[in-house]
Every structure is written in C-alpha cells, then in structure tokens.
Amino acid sequence: MAKTLSTIVSSASQTVEISHSRPTVIIGERINPTGRKKVLAALEAGNFDIIREDTASQVAAGAAILDVNAGVPGADEPALLQQVMRIVMEVTQVPLCIDTANPAALEAALSIYEGKALVNSVNGEERSLGAVLPLVKEHGGAVIGLCMDDGGIPDTPEKRLAVAGKIIERAGKLGIGPEDVVIDPLALTMGADSTAGRVALETIELVVREFGVNITMGASNISFGLPDRKYINAAFIAMAIHAGLTCPITNPLVTEVATAVLAADLAMGRDDYSMRWLQGYRQRQKAAQAD
C-alpha cells in the first residue's frame, strides 16, 4: 500500500491540510450557477449579493475550502470569474477551489489569487492535460484529476484507476508531485445506474491503495434524479469517507450530510475526545431552538 499523502492549499492568510489522517475537509459547492437558477439569474444581472451570502453561510456551516464557478453561458468567463473570486475573497479568507473548464478563465483566476489554489479540474484527455497542468505548475497550485479520458468515463474501478495513474504520471513529469494531485473517481447517479455508487467506492479504495493521494468528488451527484436525496447523500458520503474520501465537494448547509461527515470522522478515530461531534451537536441544538 502506498504511503498516504498530505495536500496543502492556502489563501493569503489561511492554510488547510487535506490528509487521510485528519478530519474530512468540506469543499463548499454552492458558488456555482450550474443547476442553481437563482445564482445564474443573479450573475447574469450583475447582482453579487447571493455570492456574498453563500460565501458566509458555507464557511459558518463548516466549509474549509470554497469551490468557485462562474460558468454563465455567453458571459466573459475570465472577467466574471475574477470578479466573483474577488467578492468571495472580500468576505472570507478560506482557500479557494477554482472551478472552470475554460483555460483562459483559469489563467485569469490564478493570476489574481494569493495563495495556493486547488484547481477543479484536469482529466485524462490529452487536450485537458496539455492545457491545465502547465498552468497549475506555473502558479504553484494543486489540482483535481477526474477519472475520465478521451474514451469517456470508464465503467470499471480498474479502468478509472488507470486514468488516475495517467494524470498523476503526467503531472509528475511537469514537477507537480502526487501530493498536489487530488483524484476524483466520479460519482454518477445511481438513478441511472444502480452500480454507480459501488464503482465509485471501489475506485476510491484502489486509488488510495495504489497512490496514497487525497480523494474528492461531487458527492451529491450520486443521488441525482432520486427522491429524498439528502439521506442517500449522507449515507454515501459516510461510506466514501471510510473508503478514503478526504475532501468532498458538497453542500455544508444540508444538516444530514454535515452530520454524516462528523459521524464518519468520529468513527474513523479522527475526532479527539469527540470534540467536533459535541460542537456540532451544540450547534444543531442551538439552531433547533432558534426555529
């Protein structure tokens, strides 16, 4: 089994360590117009109040890193992403995960970021590897590697492991160490494929065993199209943490999911004297009394 690695990301004043031996790091997903009509409409109108609100609420709910996406159809994404990032950085000092498939927007965002960003993302496609990895190296960031390539999303854990290995190898050739490559095994909806959860979990186990790297995923994707999603997401994220997930991209405002993360960390021995669990309990009690 490979030695497990630590990934460091930072802002100008805060540093976050992602590690298999430390509590799970939540990456807040809400600053993203994809699938959120309210955010999309606000960004199209040039109204950034919802960005400020989502920034503050996610950090208050326990997000240690914030994913920032400004993919508005027809917009000048490089300029808009810079603007959204500046607003987020005015509200909080937590590190950012820059979420874009546009290399020009990525370069623009990295150029104004103070600290070590997490880039979301590169994949095994040759075009992606050639465009994203040099920018990550130039700006000293860390990067999320998606387990897909020119052939699409592999259907078995073994094939996804091979894509992860390709990304790690190519990053290494540019001087990006495996500690700065966070692998996303890809959680697909179980509503369309009942084996999607099992394949993702087995991929996590294989990747951690082979490479020791940290693991992320858009954890809520697993329940897309199904009812009572919060319960599915909570169960799955706890199972994924046991398998090796260290920094899920999720919504910390969903109590069931946030509680599942705390419970999983407690069960994994990553919560000394149950202090984080007890703190979470007090916060939930306070919120319930306020309601």
Q: How many residues does the chain have?
A: 291
Residue 198 inside a domain? The answer is yes
Q: Is the peptide bond before 21 cis (omega within 30 degrees of 0)?
A: no
12-23 per-position pLDDT tens digit:
999 999 999 999
* Domains: count for the chain: 1
* pTM score of the predicted model: 0.97
Strand, coil or helix: 120: strand
Q: Among 47, 118, 61, 121, which Cα is nearest to 92's?
A: 61
CA 198 to chain CA centroid, nearest Å: 20
CATH number (domain holding residue 273):
3.20.20.20
Determine which helix (DSSP H) or strand (DSSP E) holds 265, and give its type and residue range: helix 255-267
Instruction: Tell me how far apart the alpha carbons of residues 49 and 12 are, in angstroms, rounded to a whole number.
Output: 23
Q: How many CB atoms lie within 10 A of CB 46?
A: 8
21-59 per-position pLDDT tens digit:
999 999 999 999 988 889 999 899 899 999 999 999 999
Residue-number span of the structural domain to which 36 is assigned: 7-290
Residue 2 inside a domain? The answer is no
Residue 1 inside a domain? The answer is no
Helix-strand-coil split of the chain, %, nearest 5: 50, 15, 35
243-291 per-position pLDDT tens digit:
999 999 999 999 999 999 999 999 999 999 999 999 999 999 998 888 7
Residue 122 inside a domain? The answer is yes
